[in-house]
Chains A and B, each alone.
Chain A
Amino acid sequence: MADIKKKETGQQWFYSDTVKEHFLHPHNMANEDKLIDEMRPNAMGEVGSPACGDVMKMWLHIDDGRIKKCLWRTFGCASAIASTSVLSEMVTEKGGMTLEEAEKIRPKDIIKRLGGLPPLKVHCSVLGDQALRAAIADYKKKAE
Chain B
Amino acid sequence: MIYLDNAATTRMDPDVLKEMLPYLKERFGNPSSMHYMGMEAKNAVEGSRKKIANHLNCQPEELIFTGSGTESDNLAILGFARQNKERGNHLITSKIEHPAVMNCFKQLEKEGFNITYIDVDTDGIIDLKQLENAITAKTILVSVIYANNEIGVIQDIPAITDICRKNKVTFHTDACQATNYLEIDVKKLGVDMMTINASKIYGPKGVGVLFRRKGTGIQPIIFGGGQESGLRAGTENVANIVGMAKALELAIKMGEKESARIGKLRDRLIDGLLELPETRLNGHPTKRLPNNVNISFLNIEGESLLLMMGEEGIYASTGSACSSSKLEPSHVITAIGMPHEISHSSIRMTLGRQTTKKDIDQVLDKMPGIVERLRKISALNMTMEHVLGDKHG
Interface residues of A (CB under 8 A from B): 14, 23-24, 26, 29, 31-32, 46, 48, 50-57, 72-78, 80-81, 120, 123
Q: Report A-chain residues with C-beta under 8 Å of the C-beta of B311.
A: 24
Q: Are A31 and B377 in contact (CB under 8 A)?
A: yes
Closest to B378 in A: A75
Which 4 A-B residue pairs are closest in the complex by CB-CB distance?
A77-B303, A51-B340, A31-B376, A73-B379
For B300, the chain A residues whose CB sits under 8 A away are: 75
CB neighbours of A81 from chain B (8 A): 304, 377
Q: Is A23 in contact with B307, judged by CB distance below 8 angstroms? A: yes
- Min Cβ gap A84→B in Å is 9
Chain A nearest CB, measured from B343 CB (Å)? 9
Residues of chain A lying within 8 A (CB to CB) of residue B376: 29, 31-32
Interface string of B363-393 (1 = CB under 8 A from A): 0000000000000111110100000000000
State how many angstroms separate the Cβ of A26 from the closest Cβ of chain B.
Answer: 6
B residues contacting A by CB (< 8 A) are 299-301, 303-304, 307-308, 311, 325-327, 329, 339-341, 344, 376-380, 382
CA distance A32 to B304 in the complex (A): 20
Pairwise interchain contact B304-A77, C-beta atoms closer than 8 A:
yes
Complex A-B: 30 CB contacts under 8 Å = A14-B307, A23-B307, A24-B308, A29-B376, A29-B377, A31-B377, A50-B340, A50-B341, A50-B344, A50-B380, A51-B339, A52-B340, A53-B327, A53-B344, A54-B301, A55-B379, A57-B379, A73-B378, A73-B379, A74-B377, A74-B379, A75-B300, A75-B301, A76-B301, A76-B304, A77-B301, A80-B301, A81-B304, A81-B377, A120-B325
Contact A51 B377 (CB under 8 A): no
How far, in angstroms, from A73 to B304 measured CA to CA in the complex? 14
Please, how many angstroms separate the alpha-carbon atoms of A29 and B374 in the complex?
11
Known: A76-B304, A81-B377, A120-B326. 8 other contacts (CB 8 A): A32-B376, A50-B340, A50-B341, A50-B382, A51-B339, A57-B379, A73-B379, A74-B379
Kindly name the residue among B327, B329, B340 whose own CB sees the greatest number of chain A CB atoms within 10 A: B327
A73 CB contacts on chain B under 8 angstroms:
377-379
A23 to B310: give the CA distance in the assembly, Å. 13
Bound-state CA distance A50–B299 (Å) is: 8
A32 to B373, CA, bound (A): 11
Name the B residues within 8 Å of A80 (CB-CB). 301, 304
Q: Which residues of B contact A55 (CB under 8 A)?
A: 378-380
Q: Which residues of B contact A29 (CB under 8 A)?
A: 376-377
CB distance from A112 to the nearest CB of B (A): 22
Our pick among A51, A56, A120, A123 for the contact of B379 (Cβ within 8 Å) is A56
B327 touches A74 (CB 8 A): no
Once A75-B300, A78-B307, A80-B301 are accepted as A-B contacts, the answer to whether A53 and B379 lie under 8 Å apart by CB is no
Q: Given the known inter-chain contacts A23-B307, A53-B301, A80-B301, please indicate yes or no for A75 contacting B327, CB distance below 8 A.
A: no
Which residues of chain B have C-beta atoms less than 8 A from A51's C-beta?
A: 339-341
CA distance A72 to B382 in the complex (A): 17
CB of B8, distance to nearest CB on chain A (Å): 15
- Shortest distance between the CB of A134 and any CB in chain B (Å): 13
In the assembled complex, which residues on chain B have CB atoms less than 8 Å from the CB atom of A54? 301
Q: Which residues of B contact A76 (CB under 8 A)?
A: 301, 304
CB-nearest residue of chain B to A74: B379
B87 → A minimal CB distance (Å): 42
Q: Measured between alpha carbons, how far is A57 from B380 in the docked complex, in Å?
A: 9
Looking at the assembled complex, report how far the CB atom of B322 sits from the nearest CB atom of chain A, in whole angstroms: 14
Measured CB to CB, the closest approach of chain B to A46, in angstroms, equals: 7
Residues of B within 8 A of A26 (CB): 377
A75 near B299 with CB under 8 A, answer yes
Look across to chain B and name the residue whose beta carbon is closest to the beta carbon of A53.
B344
In the assembly, what is the distance between CA of A127 and CA of B97, in Å? 33
Considering the complex, give the chain A residue whose CB is closest to the CB of B329. Answer: A53
User: Are A46 and B329 in contact, with the CB atoms below 8 A?
Assistant: no
Chain A positions within 8 Å of B329 at CB level: 53
Of B304, B341, B376, chain A has the most CB atoms within 10 Å of the CB of B304
Shortest C-beta distance, A38 to chain B (Å), equals 16
Q: How far is the CB of B220 from chain A (nearest CB, A)?
A: 35
A20 to B325, CA, bound (A): 18
B378's contact among A14, A46, A74, A78, by CB below 8 Å, is which?
A74
